[in-house]
């Protein structure tokens, strides 16, 4: 193998740049040429390619987002799109491809490998931490840090005004961010899509807290469970208390990657290059405990991740 390509695809996540840096530098140290493909799979459809050198990834370890830019490509999912992308790989002598993205990007990667014959390796990256086959996806820790800082700040106002706040976090249809950041931020209640909840019970729990002397409360809701404003309206009506809603939204996607995202980006990036050099196909890098290892890309959607409900039970106890 002489030349590999690398792209970032889907929602940007802090840690993509450290992973890209690791892919480029490990590959070059092993004697490979690296082609950067801009704007995800769109770059393969439009020929947006550029050679990457050791210095082209200098100064990005501390930057959120992705210097390769990203996109969600609908055309790539069509047969015509896949053929065009495969042709771009062949025309440019690309013999291996590293895809840094989420499970949607990995489904595309598996199809591209089938159509083109070019070996593909995935690096899981999404703030949602919802990719099967791995316990960690790049961007999750940075998103948690951002959301926790926001909760801490809002708590200052909640305490000062003796108010209830509902804070909505991202996570698409899953509650990994909400569960982790709710626990870290000491939320009085956490709402996740995986566990049905009764808004009356949530209010009754807040009421019990108030009876014990709590004068403020924070409810963390995952965007896939309930929208912040809906929850706030209900709680306000039920408890006859002032309630404010805050949607953290895209603040969670950006920001300088935490140490965890930089270290995991480095480890995933270097492993992805090793896997291509070993001739492996259709694999992705994964975290299991303290180890980084390779699992089939298909695991990303065939082995859905299960939310650790014990975090929520623990939070209920600690929020007493």
Active site members: 128
Q: Are strands 33-37 and 96-101 parallel, antiparallel or unpaired?
A: unpaired
Window 243-282: contact mask with ligand F6P (x via CB under 6 A): ----------x-----------------------------
**Of 48-56, 113-121, 164-172, 259-267, which segment contacts ligand F6P by CB under 6 A?**
164-172
Query: How many binding residues for ligand F6P (CB under 6 A)?
Result: 9
Q: Binding of ligand F6P at residue 155 (CB under 6 A)?
A: no
Measured at CB, which residue is nearest to ligand F6P? 170
Which x/- pattern, by CB under 6 A, does the window 2-31 give for ligand F6P? Answer: ---------x--------------------
Q: Does 172 bind ligand F6P (CB under 6 A)?
A: yes
Nearer CB in complex with ligand F6P: 25/253: 253
- Output 1 or 184, the one with its CB closest to ligand F6P: 184
Of 44, 100, 146, 170, the residue at the interface with ligand F6P (CB under 6 A) is 170
Q: What is the 3-state secondary structure (H, E, C) of the chain?
A: CCEEEEEECCCCCCCHHHHHHHHHHHHHHCCCEEEEECCCHHHHHHCCEEEECCHHHCCCCCCCCCCCCCCCCCHHHCHHHHHHHHHHHHHCCCCEEEEEECHHHHHHHHHHHHHHCCEEEEEEECCCCCCCCCCCCECHHHHHHHHHHHHHHHHHHHHHHCCEEEEEECCCCCCHHHHHHHHHCCCCEEECCCCCCCHHHHHHHHHHHHHCCCCCEEEEEECCCCCHHHHHHHHHHHHCCCEEEEECHHHHCCCCCCHHHHHHHHHHHHHHHHHHHCCCCCEEEEEECCEEEEEECCHHHHCCCCCCCHHHHHHHHHCC
CB 139 within 8 A of CB 254: no
Name the one range near ligand F6P by CB under 6 A: 36-44, 83-91, 121-129, 212-220. 121-129
171 touches ligand F6P (CB under 6 A): yes
Nearer to ligand F6P, 128 or 188 (CB): 128
Span interacting with ligand F6P, options 108-116, 125-133, 235-243, 268-276, rule CB under 6 A? 125-133
Which of residues 26, 126, 137, 246 is near ligand F6P by CB under 6 A? 126
Is residue 214 a contact point for ligand F6P (CB under 6 A)? no
- Residue 73 lies near ligand F6P (rule: CB under 6 A): no
Among 103, 128, 141, 188, which residue interacts with ligand F6P (rule: CB under 6 A)?
A: 128
Contacts with ligand F6P by CB under 6 A lie at 11, 126-128, 170-172, 223, 253
């Amino acid at each position: 193998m002489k030349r590999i390509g690398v792209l970032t695809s889907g929602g940007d996540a802090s840690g993509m740049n450290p992973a890209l840096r690791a892919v480029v530098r490990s590959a070059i140290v092993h004697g490979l040429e690296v082609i950067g493909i801009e704007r995800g799979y769109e770059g393969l459809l439009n020929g947006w390619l550029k050679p990457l050198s050791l210095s082209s990834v200098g100064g990005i370890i501390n930057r959120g987002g992705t210097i390769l830019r990203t996109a969600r490509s609908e055309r790539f999912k069509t047969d015509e799109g896949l053929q065009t992308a495969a042709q771009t790989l062949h025309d440019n002598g690309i013999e291996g491809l590293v895809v840094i993205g989420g499970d949607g990007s990995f489904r595309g990667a598996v199809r591209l490998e089938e159509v083109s014959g070019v070996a593909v390796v995935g690096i899981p990256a999404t703030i949602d931490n919802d990719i099967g086959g791995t316990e960690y996806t790049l961007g999750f820790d940075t998103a948690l840090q951002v959301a926790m800082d926001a909760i801490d700040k809002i708590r200052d106002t909640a305490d000062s005004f003796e108010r209830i706040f509902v804070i909505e976090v991202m996570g698409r249809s899953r509650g990994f961010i909400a569960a982790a950041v709710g626990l870290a931020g000491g939320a009085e209640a956490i709402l996740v899509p995986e566990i049905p909840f009764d808004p009356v019970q949530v209010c009754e729990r807040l009421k019990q807290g108030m009876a014990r002397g709590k004068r403020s409360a924070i409810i963390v809701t995952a965007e896939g469970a309930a929208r912040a404003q809906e929850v706030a309206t209900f709680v306000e009506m039920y408890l006859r208390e002032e309630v404010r809603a805050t949607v953290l939204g895209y603040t969670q996607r950006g920001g300088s990657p935490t140490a965890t995202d930089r270290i995991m980006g480095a480890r995933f990036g270097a492993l992805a290059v090793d896997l291509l050099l070993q001739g492996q196909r259709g694999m992705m890098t994964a975290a299991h405990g303290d180890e980084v290892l390779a699992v089939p890309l298909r695991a990303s959607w065939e082995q859905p991740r299960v939310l650790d409900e014990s975090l929520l039970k623990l939070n209920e106890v600690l929020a007493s």
